[in-house]
Amino acid sequence: MTIDLKTLTISKVREMFAKGTLTSVELVQAYLDQINLKDKDINAFREVFGDALEQAKAADDLRKSNSTEVNSMSLLGIPFAIKDNMVIEGKRAGASSKILENYISAYDATVISKLKKAGAIFIGRLNMDEFAMGGSTENSAYGVVKNPNDLSRVAGGSSGGSAASVAVNEALVSLGSDTGGSIRQPSSYCGVVGLKPTYGRVSRHGLMAMGSSLDVIGPIAKTVEEVEEIFNVISGQDRYDATTLSDENVKNAIEKSSNINLEKLRVGIVPELMNMGGINPDVLKNLNDGVEKLRSAGVEIKEVSLPHIKYSLAVYYVLMPAEVSSNMARFDSIKYGGKVEGKDLLGDYLNTRGELLGKEVRRRIILGTYVLSSGYHDAYYNKANIVRDLIAEDFKKAYEQVDVILTPTAPSPAFKIGQNTSDPIQMYLEDIFTVTANLIGIPAITIPSGYIEIDEASDGVSDGSLGEKIKLPLGVQFMAPLCREDVLFAIGKKFTTMIKG
């Protein structure tokens, strides 16, 4: 049968399953066919799992059995693709790095266990920036992920495969990880919805750590409703992750913002960000158009001041490499992963890490080690943590006036492959709008907000002259108070309706 993958959502698939007009085997086969057709150009998948159809058949059999177990399996037969830094028992997981090329996991990440319990199917693992270090997936040891809207451009990163696979209909939904924007930025570049949950609401057990105080796992899909449903499945306290929030913690956080009315949300915009320069004019226009649509729909728009937000990027690029330096120490050629022999133990370390870790990973290890070194710890790391607290306090005050804060997701549309590789600073600037949510732990979501038309002849904004033109997606970001993902889902659905209308 012919399946229109472009229009499928979890709810539509579930309805078709119930009517008997679609089986999990047929659905998974359709995605496998699309991967065979498209992924040689996109490079979103690191591996397609050989047992995907077996998983689908087991789901179909269980559905036919009329077992009471089925009633609690909200994602029975729904195919997922998983970023290559989350472990699945018996499957390879390599963080798109040569140093973990043949690593096979002995256990499931907690998010995988929860999805399995809900009946999900796993069709493969997705390409990414090596160990999630990058904003373009150009740092993968296995080639760049290309943007489905223009194959000469990046899909974003580090969850480039996660966003591109959904955008090009190779996967219904996916999981990514977000340390400084790694779900939201590629989702914006590819024109899909991506959620970065509150820090601690989703377990990190089984996620290969990059920045332990920053990392969060989240879903990517075509609609806010799907992202919300997946979040509800994977969130919750976990005994294997001490940083996860208890139900009581979540309740207390929500009570602190109990004055929020989901039917009459107040949206804040930040002049300090909008006036800082370096933002593509069409990105600003797109944001302003979105603001006007919200205002026309009766949403209260208010300017709020976040005086310390201008330091967010600098703070992030001190704290993140410091945590990278610590977390990457485990890859020592002894416990697991690849090994390049040296003349002695130190030689083993140096050869393995020098040859099997990519340039960007080594850059961040070196930077983080410097930041943490004697004589510089107080000057950089401790000072960055002080400013981190100041930024959090600014947001706390802002949320006394508004319920959600609106920014562009990225300062530009997807850029050309290779355009920023020789300039790490320019690459890091792509995170300008996203890193703050990770620094202070709040939830954030990116919603598709339209397109920018590019004239390929001049590789700039179209001036109306003749030439091949392409449309590149843009996204806007909403940030809510701690544990108020419900606010993001409410404003996200409202905004999506306005954009489509």
Catalytic annotation, pick one of 96, 158, 188, 203: 158
**Most distant CA pair in the chain, distance:** 71
Q: For tokens 């177990």, name the residue.
A: 69
β-strand partners of 175: 82, 219
Is residue 74 within 8 Å of residue 233, measured between CB atoms? yes
CA dist 367 and 136 (Å) reads 20
- 3-class SS at 193? strand
Is residue 34 within 8 Å of residue 44, measured between CB atoms? no
β-strand partners of 302: 268
Q: Which positions ≥6 away from 241 have C-beta within 8 Å?
A: 110, 203, 204, 205
Retrieve residue 378's tokens. Answer: 């107080």
CA dist 276 and 7 (Å) reads 39
Minimal CA–CA distance to 416: which of 465, 456, 453?
456
β-strand partners of 18: none
Phi-psi region of 129 (alpha: psi -120 to 50; beta: other; left: phi over 0): beta
- The tally of CA atoms less than 13 A away on the side-chain side of residue 99 is 28
Q: For tokens 């809207």, name the residue.
A: 149
Is residue 164 within 8 Å of residue 157, measured between CB atoms? no
- Crossing angle of helices 52-64/24-42, nearest 10°? 160
Catalytic annotation, pick one of 38, 83, 196, 494: 83
Q: For tokens 């703050």, name the residue.
A: 436
CA dist 444 and 492 (Å) reads 10
Which one-letter amino acid corresponds to residue 130?
A: E
What count of other Cβ atoms lies within 10 Å of the Cβ of residue 467?
A: 12
Assess whether 312 carries a catalytic annotation. Answer: no
CA dist 375 and 408 (Å) reads 38
Assess whether 158 carries a catalytic annotation. Answer: yes
Assess whether 339 carries a catalytic annotation. Answer: no
Sequence-ordered strand ranges (E) for 84-172: 121-126, 146-147, 150-154
Which one-letter amino acid corresponds to residue 475?
A: G
Is residue 378 within 8 Å of residue 318, measured between CB atoms? no
Q: For tokens 């020789």, name the residue.
A: 422
Is residue 352 within 8 Å of residue 339, measured between CB atoms? yes
- The tally of CA atoms less than 13 A away on the side-chain side of residue 62 is 23
Minimal CA–CA distance to 196: which of 152, 141, 159, 243?
159
- 3-class SS at 55? helix
Active site residues: 83, 158, 182
